[in-house]
Amino acid sequence: MKLYRRSLWVFHLNSGSCNGCDIEILNALAPRQDAERLGVKLVGSPRHADAILFTGPVTREALPSVVRAIQAVPEPKIVLAVGACACGGGIWHDSYCVLGGIQGLYRVLKSMGVAPPKTIYVPGCPPKPEAIIHGIMLARGLAGQRQARSEYFEEQGPAVKAEEDLHRLFHKCFPGRLPPKTARVEWGVTRY
């Protein structure tokens, strides 16, 4: 994917982060990692920006300003959700005073009739400056995505057979009269 061919001007938007991610963003722009050699420039106003470096879990206090800043960025825009907080709420995801990251913010934007912008997720708490640069490279189409979803589902056949073996082991050892069934426990509940 090539979203931006040219230099990417970014606006750094803090929606109530702990400052860890913000420090790493500054590190990415500092001489050692020097994101500016890749055309990344930090701008002071959202109206000048192509992309938003979004940090924090979106606190309720920050919400009005965050929505205004996102709306002020001209289209086409791209949001880089930097850090665990922005990607999924992080350590604060179930707190009463946050919206739980960028998904909560998009829910608010949708209810306002604004289409959520294209997003790139950069997980980490905080992400290494190199990880942020990798996210920017991904947005510019200069790097490929390394992370992929992985799924594993146990094979049913051998598992069912193992279960039957275990049941047989039980019935062999307790062949006598067994007590009536105990009270049923409700299972299938989502556990966090």
Partner 1 sequence: MNRIKVLLENLRRGVVTEQYPFKPIRVPERLRGKPVIDPDKCAGCGACVNACPPNALTMRDDKHSSMRFIVLFIGRCIYCGKCEEACPFGAIRLTREFELAAENREDLYQVVGLRLYHCPLCGEPFTTVRLIKRVVEALPEEQRAAATLCPRCRESVTAHYRSYARR
Q: Which of residues 31-60 bind ligand SF4 (CB under 6 A)?
A: 55-56
Q: Which of residues 113-172 bind ligand SF4 (CB under 6 A)?
A: 125-126
The backbone torsions φ and ψ at residue 121, rounded to the nearest 5 degrees and listed phi first, read -95, 130
Rounded CA-CA distance 125/83 in Å is 5
Work out how close the CB of 104 gets to ligand SF4 at its nearest, in angstroms, rounded to a whole number. Answer: 14
CB 26 to partner 1: min, Å: 15
Does 20 interact with ligand SF4 (rule: CB under 6 A)?
yes
- Residue listed under structure tokens 């105990």: 182
- Taking CB within 5 to 8 Å according to partner kind, which of partner 1, ligand SF4, none is near residue 75? none
Q: Considering the complex, what minimum distance in angstroms separates the CB of residue 12 from ligand SF4?
A: 12
Tell me the C-alpha distance between 125 and 92, whole Å. 12
Interatomic CA distance for residues 96 and 110, integer angstroms: 21
Residue 97 or 169 with smaller CB distance to partner 1: 169
Q: How far is the CB of 63 from ligand SF4 (least distance, A)?
A: 16
Q: Of 43, 31, 32, 33, which Cα lies nearest the Cα of 7?
A: 43
User: Residue with structure tokens 């829910």?
Assistant: 107
Among 35, 51, 80, 84, binds ligand SF4 (CB under 6 A): 84
